[in-house]
């Protein structure tokens, strides 16, 4: 079995605060309460959907993030976004940094770095702030990690990360931090606190490999009925014939 390693400063680790966990630990309640039966077909019977909720690992916001968007104006009278964390005070910031832990806010990415990207508008044409991640991530040789918003389980709509892929078998001495998009397109004014422990990143390790693409025409219908025999049953067609629960175990 492959191992993904999440490491952080020893003292921070001893706090046991907001450790990464398998993403299956936050399967949403609305999904758990669904029933899938002959009388009522629901997405509870869709294994591809279930796998989005159980594949990979989860990162959580390490400190409270206070967001103020559209409340204050700059010198030009334009709205600005301000983000501070619970450890941004001089005393707390110095304390954490002197022990090798940096979870305070960092300089944001200027809008010009993403000029033309569709989410510039969504972010209110303002700078892109980052959530600072205290965890270094290491995977076996040849494996990378896909970082994205929790699939089908984004628990709020105020912000989301900009997804990315990192060679986590080589980039092992630094944390991966995550620029976020504030949903300024929906919330013209926003003042709230993202609480520590809020799930915000799904981490999916995958093996890098060489691929080539081809397209193939289906010339006739030979064997079509046999190959589509899954339609002879009402429920769990894909689950019973193709899906294996033990294909990948995330723990």
Averaged pLDDT score across all residues of the chain: 86
Q: What's the pLDDT at 36?
A: 80
Residue with tokens 């492959």: 2
Taking residues 171-200, what's their average pLDDT? 90
pLDDT one-digit tens code per residue, 31-55 = 999 988 777 789 898 889 999 999 9
Nearest-5° angle of CA 151, CA 154, CA 155? 145
Question: Up-side HSE of residue 107: CA atoms within 13 Å toward CB?
Answer: 3
**Over 80: is that where the pLDDT of 216 sits?**
yes
Token reading at 228:
């589509």
Q: In what order do the strands lie in the sheet containing 79-85?
A: 79-85, 65-73, 190-194
**Over 90: is that where the pLDDT of 7 sits?**
yes
pLDDT one-digit tens code per residue, 58-102 = 999 999 999 888 777 777 777 777 888 888 876 666 777 767 777
Distance CA 39, CA 184 (A): 42
**Residues 6 or more apart from 100 whose CB is under 8 A from it?**
9, 11
Q: What's the pLDDT at 223?
A: 61
Distance CA 85, CA 104 (A): 6
pTM for this model (two decimals): 0.85
Residue with tokens 């806010």: 105
Token reading at 234:
């009402």
Distance CA 231, CA 229 (A): 5
164-166/159-161 β-pairing:
unpaired
**Over 70: is that where the pLDDT of 246 sits?**
no
**Over 90: is that where the pLDDT of 221 sits?**
no
**Over 80: is that where the pLDDT of 180 sits?**
yes
Q: What's the pLDDT at 227?
A: 63
**Over 80: is that where the pLDDT of 245 sits?**
no
pLDDT one-digit tens code per residue, 121-149 = 888 888 898 999 999 999 999 999 999 99
Domain ranges of the chain: 5-241
């Amino acid at each position: 079995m492959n191992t993904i390693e999440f490491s952080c400063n020893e003292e921070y680790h001893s706090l046991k605060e907001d450790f990464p966990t398998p993403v299956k630990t936050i399967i949403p309640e609305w999904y758990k309460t669904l029933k899938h039966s002959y009388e009522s077909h629901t997405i509870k019977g869709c294994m591809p959907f279930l796998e989005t909720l159980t594949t990979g690992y989860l990162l959580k916001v390490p400190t409270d993030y206070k967001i103020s968007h559209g409340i204050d104006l700059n010198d030009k009278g334009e709205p600005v976004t301000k983000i501070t964390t619970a450890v941004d005070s001089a005393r707390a910031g110095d304390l954490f940094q002197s022990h090798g832990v940096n979870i305070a806010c960092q300089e944001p990415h200027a809008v010009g770095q993403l000029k033309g990207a569709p989410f510039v508008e969504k972010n209110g044409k303002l700078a892109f702030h980052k959530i600072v991640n205290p965890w270094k991530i290491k995977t076996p040789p040849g494996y990378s990690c896909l970082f994205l918003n929790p699939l089908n389980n984004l628990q709020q709509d105020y912000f989301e990360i900009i997804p990315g892929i990192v060679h986590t078998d080589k980039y092992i001495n630094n944390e991966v931090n995550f620029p976020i998009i504030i949903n300024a397109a929906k919330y013209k004014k926003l003042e709230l606190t993202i609480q520590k422990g809020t799930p915000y990143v799904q981490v999916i390790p995958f093996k890098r490999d060489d691929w080539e693409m081809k397209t193939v025409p289906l010339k006739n219908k030979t064997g079509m009925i046999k190959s589509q025999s899954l339609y002879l049953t009402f429920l769990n067609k894909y689950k019973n014939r193709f899906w294996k629960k033990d294909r990948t175990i995330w723990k």
